[in-house]
Amino acid sequence: MKIADLSAETIEKIKLVRWDRIIEKHEGPEDWESVFRYEQLEFLEVEGYPILLPVNKSHHSHISILRCIWSAEKNSVTLSCLILPMKTIHFFVDLWQCAIAH
């Protein structure tokens, strides 16, 4: 899945979805509006699923997934990521909301 393949309507729906992260302390919830405005985004495949992280695609090669915890329904995931040379970041991504946007 690629961002370029998504319709404008789908992207607008994704912008309404909230996400959380922890970098030394809890930060969030955030929305995707500013992420789409300031970052070059692309999906990252994690365990066979396309996941949109609020991280510039230029950092994808520096991301190591430390832990991936799926909900029972596989519609949300909590990721612990190491982004070198940065820090360990924990994301909570609600895939169900992104899926219904698509």
**What one-character-per-residue DSSP string does 3-58 give?**
GGGS-HHHHHHHHT-EEEEEESEEEEEEESHHHHHHS---EEEETTEEEE-SS-GG
Report the candidate in 20, 28, 72, 93 with the shortest Cα–Cα distance to residue 101.
93
β partners of residue 52: 43
Per-residue pLDDT reduced to its tens digit, 45-84: 888 888 888 888 888 888 888 888 888 988 788 888 777 7
Q: Can you give the pLDDT at residue 97?
A: 42
Extract the tokens encoding 12: 């607008």
pLDDT band at 6 (very low <50, low <70, confident <90, very high): very high
Top mean pLDDT of 3-7, 23-27, 45-49, 97-101 is at: 3-7
Asked if the bond preceding 50 is cis, omega within 30° of 0, the reply is: no
- Global pTM reads 0.71
User: Domain boundaries in the chain?
Assistant: 3-101
Q: What does the pLDDT read at residue 91?
A: 54
